[in-house]
Structure 1
Amino acid sequence: MGGKKTKETRQRLEELRATQQRQDRRRKLLITSIGSVIAVAALAALGYGIVQDREAESKPSGDGGNPPWALPANPMPGIKAAGLSTGPMGTADHYHAHLDIFVDSKPVPVAANIGIEQSGAMSALHTHDDRGVIHVEAQTKGDTYTLGQVFKQWGVALSVDQLGALKTGAGKTLTAQVNGKQVGGNPADIVIKAHQQIALVYGKPDPAFRPPATYQFQEGE
């Protein structure tokens, strides 16, 4: 009689252990599945974040705000928006122009290193310092460059009625002069030429204010 009860007890214990093992396996499988779902979701979120970052890096943002205008943190979106690329300094074409900007008759500095990466690679159209000297140092000869491409790389809006965040209207105007002569149309379309003096003037017209018609380039420029 006692042997029969002992056998039944052993069978019951074995069944309990088997049940417990099945439950343990199910629990582990569930934990593994949840972990996989979390991992996939995390990777998807990371991938989405990377795509968003790359999209943000590929597009220049905003109008540049109010002056003075600093360089963009990442120059490449503006360089690409200008239809340019970077590389070593070119020598096939090499000439300079000068740009003055005036807001309410006060000069606004042109940023140094427009169109130049931190590595030193540069586009064919760039600045080296804050004198306003625009450098064309291209690897191919005969290409045309415009003032709008300078501003695209700078991250500052330029159009017939806008300079950065400054817009025309309410008595404010935006005019452009080349070598002392006013030019009409969109100033972004001004073609950069050797030893050219360009002036952008924003604000209420002041007949007494005359931007410089010439610029004294340094020797060799």
Structure 2
Amino acid sequence: MLTRALFVLLLVLNVGVAAWWALHASAPAAPPSSLPGDVPTLELVDAGNAIAAVRTPQAPSSSLRCWRYGPFTNPAAFEAARRAIVSQVAWTATAEQIAGAPRAWRVVLPQPDRATATATAARIGAAGFADYLILPEGGPDANTIALGRYRGETSARDRASALERAGFQARVEPVGGRVVQWLDVAATPAFDARSAALGLTGVTIDCAGVVRDGRYTIPAPA
């Protein structure tokens, strides 16, 4: 009697399990992602071990090459050349050579007009700097703020660095030495160094020494 009861109980359990497998609902599939294609996502590579892989978009690589044009002995001619070629390149820079031995070095901050020069000079004084003067109107230094004259280049550059840290883009110039300027440009490898706009062919240079939109001194030819 007991054996028959156990047999009936096992039969009922088996029928119940079979019915559950036949009638249970499958888990709903995950909805498709609505994120943009360039957003990193997590993908399960092995669900059993829960190993996640990250899909990261690849940034396009770009390389630039640098060329040098010149020399220019006239600042106006240099600026005209820069404006003529700036739309054809990624960016430009100014390389300067000092021809001859300067008698001294000066720190200056050119301004577009008298009102701007006066306002800028007031801000320089408020920042704690002394020894500055707005040069007279007229001539190549019109409305320029003179910020000191030094016997050595190092002292002049120290002064210009202090002003730059305070937000004033002063520049260092030789007194008595002739400045020769070169126009440095950075462009893609497809750029044609033979510039019809300038009537010059650029010389390839190392980009490592080129400061974007900057002004720097390079050694004078021996």
**Fold similarity call, TM over 0.5:** no
TM-score, with length taken from structure 1: 0.25
TM-score, with length taken from structure 2: 0.25
- Structure having greater relative contact order (Cα 8 Å, sep ≥ 6): 2
